[in-house]
Amino acid sequence: MLPPHETFPYHCLSLGTLTFVVSGEGAEHLAGLAARSFSPVVARYAYPRFETRAPFFPVMAADDLGKLYQGLDALDWMAGSGLLYPRSDAMGVWVDGSEDQLFLKELDLAVPPLAFAAASAGEADFPGSLLSAAIQIVSQSDHAITPGGDFPSRLSACLPTFQLHADLIGLMAFDLIPHVLTHPRPISFEDLDDFLSGMAG
């Protein structure tokens, strides 16, 4: 049994220990500069277990009245209403593919779900890599990079999103992205040199 997934026409790239999805013009070029990248992106979602923080991928959930939610509907119901039904059940799988059934109170539903990206929906690529952020490359912006981005609601609810100006596609982006992820804030082109100098210092 594999958990539900969504497929996006994005590029996924790894930068050190961080993994991102990238959209927009220039995404393919930026991904090509990374040591590892793939497209399209198969996204799956998990909630951490309280005791271990191990990711649990829901496949089905049931409320106290016995109403069943399956696939991505189960994830959406858990995100929207799961805290109201702590003794309700969730069926799903762990990272190793083993199936399990938990009470919702065993999962940390107070945090956004974890998003994982894989190159295919097959068992061999499950669960994929844990995503750190989603980045939209834009050509019209007053900033070099700024929080925000046009991504589907389920994905953007899980991840910090950023808009990166197309003029910064290249290795400079690989220096910039991890630092902005740590301290999210808009960086204008006027402030970019000072910001990069501060990183070097």
pLDDT tens for 69-94 read: 999 999 999 999 999 999 999 999 99
> Which has the closest alpha carbon to 155: 135, 134, 136, 137?
134
Instruction: Specify whether the CB–CB gap between 73 and 56 falls below 8 A.
Output: no
Domain ranges of the chain: 6-43+129-200, 47-111
Q: What is the pLDDT of residue 199?
A: 60
Q: Which residue has the higher pLDDT, 32 or 91?
A: 91
**Is a pLDDT exceeding 90 seen at residue 10?**
yes
pLDDT tens for 89-115 read: 999 999 999 999 999 999 999 999 999
Q: Which residue has the higher pLDDT, 15 or 136?
A: 136
Q: Which of 40-44, 86-90, 183-187, 191-195 has the lowest mean pLDDT?
A: 191-195
Strands 37-38 and 11-15: antiparallel
* CA distance linking residue 86 with residue 89, whole number of Å: 8
Q: What is the pLDDT of residue 168?
A: 85
pLDDT tens for 44-54 read: 999 999 999 99
Please tell me the pTM assigned to this model.
Answer: 0.92
Percent of the chain with pLDDT over 90: 72
The two three-digit tokens of residue 141, written as one number: 């912006």
| Residues 6+ away with beta carbon under 8 Å from 198 | none
